[in-house]
Amino acid sequence: MAGSSALPQFHVVGFTGHRRLPDEELVRARIAEALASLRSDGHVEWLAVSSAAIGGDVLFANEVLSLGMEWEALLPLPAIDFRKDFSEEEWQLVQNLLTQSSALRVVAQEGNREEAYLDCGIETVNACDVLIAIWDGEPARGRGGTADIVTFARELSRPLIVIDPVKGEVRRENFEHFKDRDPELGFLNALPEAGAGTEANNGRSLVDRFMAKTDRAASAGAPKFRLLTAAAVLLHVAATVVATAGLAFHWHPIGLPWAKLLFVLGAFFSAMAIRHLRAQDTWVRCRLAAELARAIKATWGMSRRTALFEDIDLPETRHLVRSLHILHLRDTRGERPNLDTFRQHYRINRIEDQLIYYRRRLAKAEPQLSRLRMGFSLSTLLAIAATAMYAIQHTFHLAEISPVFEAVTFYFLPIVLPVVAAAFISFISINDLHRRVARYREMCHLLESAQKQIMVTHSWRSLEQLVRRTERVLLQEVLEWHTLMSHLDAHH
């Protein structure tokens, strides 16, 4: 629907299987049946991933392409090394097949051949939601064989469709772990629209709308943890001041105990509100989704070999990252990105924009930290002075002291000022100012360094590495918040 911000969900079916098959037509038919059963729900699009070895891989890829599905090819080694396992005729067949892949990825650039094949199989399992295996049940004939890949998939509880190449029997395993709909992507898609936006239906405009609504939801739903915690501290200070004033000045109006009670109750309910909001937070999920979309938007058009955040090991973001990655690939397929154009765009619209943001945050946080430190120092020194005067006068009786001065200096301030000093320290901790100032300085340093490095990159490979490092650094704080909130939810 035009203007919708709901991201599509994609499932991936992977494949592993023997090279030598006793009955290729039987295997082809079983693969077709397995794919048909997976694709019976038309609301989710299925993609495919596999290697391109002669035998089962080629049968699978051809069947996938005949159904109009997208197929990503994984090669265990660069083509110049991979082709050594084929005859000239076989390699021509595989080369033709590879030209029809939606993406081509080499798993290992160099190294032991058997380990490369094992890594390719492991990567296939990691990339898929369901694995189809053409397996005769026998142990692997070499490292990285079908049996090894099936064993790895079972260890991960990955849903399996095991097809016997001799008997044609089909067995399903671990399908109780398969989720037809990703609940996290469903939650994000169901968020209210952010308002009027572009009606274009290309991938970039869809990501724009998705980012806008998740960003708005995160900003609107961000709980005021720091404000509520500061309120609890201030209310405790107020209760202490009132109680101490009553004792120091022999001041006992009828409303005094009620005031103390209200302050303490206020502090208690502030603490309960914090606990309640932490247990039921959704804002950090929206913030993480918005920042992932923002990163994809900032790197739109970059010649990218793999998903930008494929290394983020969060089950909640698996389908989101996949959807963003596929939308980017489809929207930019066939384009020839210009390195200089993208480099300038990324430097100005991403690095410099974030650098301005962190410098502004640093300029705000540093004076705040300095003021709170000064408040702590002054209140502590005054508390020391008042306590010292009381100790000297109580011991040596050096002079006559007026009752008011005695009440204020000897009884009121020595109790209240340490509490005020503790409140200043608490505010520093509540606002996480030490860490935030250090982080803002670090981010400014890292972004300034990236700003310089990006102008001397002369290849897509080096540029991609720099962009990946920069985006991961920019995402680090929200990832830490996500981990913290997940931990709190788990122990609620």
Q: Is the CATH number of domain 10-181 1.10.3720.10?
A: no
* Predicted confidence pLDDT, tens digits, the chain (492 residues): 445 889 999 999 999 999 889 999 999 999 999 999 999 877 889 999 999 999 999 999 999 999 999 999 999 988 888 888 888 999 999 999 999 999 888 887 776 788 888 999 999 999 999 999 999 988 877 677 899 999 999 999 999 999 999 999 999 999 999 988 999 999 999 999 876 555 667 889 999 999 999 999 888 867 677 888 899 999 999 999 999 999 998 888 888 889 999 999 999 998 888 766 654 567 888 999 999 999 999 998 887 666 777 777 788 889 999 999 999 988 887 777 888 999 999 999 999 999 999 999 999 999 999 999 999 999 999 999 999 999 998 898 888 889 899 999 999 999 999 999 999 999 999 888 999 999 999 999 999 999 999 988 888 889 988 999 999 999 988 888 777 766 555 444
Q: Can you tell me the distance from the alpha carbon of 317 to that of 105, in angstroms, rounded to the nearest whole number?
A: 22
**Residue 202: partners with Cβ closer than 8 Å, 6 or more residues away:** 331
CA 109, chain centre distance (Å): 28
What pTM does this model have? 0.83
d(CA 350, CA 344): 10
- For 324, residues 6+ apart whose C-beta sits below 8 A from its C-beta are 7, 207, 292, 293, 296, 307, 308
Q: Of 168, 102, 109, 107, whose CA–CA distance to 135 is shortest?
A: 168
φ/ψ of 181, rounded to 5, equals: -120, 130
Q: If you ran DSSP here, which 8-state letter would residue 310 be given?
A: T
Task: Choose among 423, 427, 409: nearest CA to 244.
Answer: 409
Domains of the chain, by residue range, sit at 10-181, 203-222+282-490, 225-279
Count of C-beta atoms within a 10 Å radius of residue 352: 13
Q: Residue 52 is encoded by which pair of tokens?
A: 């391109």
Q: Tell me the C-alpha distance between 17 and 28, whole Å.
A: 12
Look-up of token digits 């209760």: 239
Q: Which pLDDT value is given to residue 279?
A: 46
Instruction: Tell me the one-letter amino acid at 19.
Output: R
Half-sphere CA count of 59, side-chain side, radius 13 A: 24
Given strand 160-163, what is the order of strands in its sheet? 103-106, 71-75, 45-50, 10-17, 130-134, 160-163, 170-173
Collapse the DSSP code of 297 into the 3-class scheme (helix H, G, I; strand E, B; otherwise coil) and give the result: helix
